[in-house]
């Protein structure tokens, strides 16, 4: 049986911690001049994948 391959796009976007999967924030790639600096500061922080999406992300990462 061949090896399981993870989805490479997902492997670049998610990091697996002890019990949660970390993700980056959206809305920070372009049109940044109109966004307040407080919002940009908050978007810098990493977040966790929502519980409704954890199973699909785990499948993509072959966990």
Residue 23's DSSP bridge partners are 14, 47
Q: What is the pLDDT at residue 47?
A: 94
Q: What is the pLDDT at residue 7?
A: 96
Q: What is the pLDDT at residue 35?
A: 96
Encode pLDDT of 1-60 as tens digits: 899 999 999 999 999 988 999 999 999 999 999 999 999 999 999 999 999 999 999 999
Three-class DSSP category at 47? strand
Q: What is the pLDDT at residue 2?
A: 92
Q: What is the pLDDT at residue 14?
A: 97
What is the number of other CB atoms lying within 10 angstroms of the CB of residue 9?
A: 9
What is the number of other CB atoms lying within 10 angstroms of the CB of residue 14?
A: 19
As a whole number of angstroms, the distance between CA 24 and CA 22 comes to 7
DSSP 33: T
Q: What is the pLDDT at residue 1?
A: 87
């Amino acid at each position: 049986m061949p090896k399981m391959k993870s989805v490479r796009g997902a492997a670049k976007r998610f990091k697996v911690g002890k019990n949660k999967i970390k993700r980056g924030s959206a809305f920070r790639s372009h049109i940044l001049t109109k966004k307040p600096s407080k919002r940009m500061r908050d978007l810098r922080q990493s977040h966790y994948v929502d519980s409704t999406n954890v199973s699909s992300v785990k499948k993509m990462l072959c966990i």
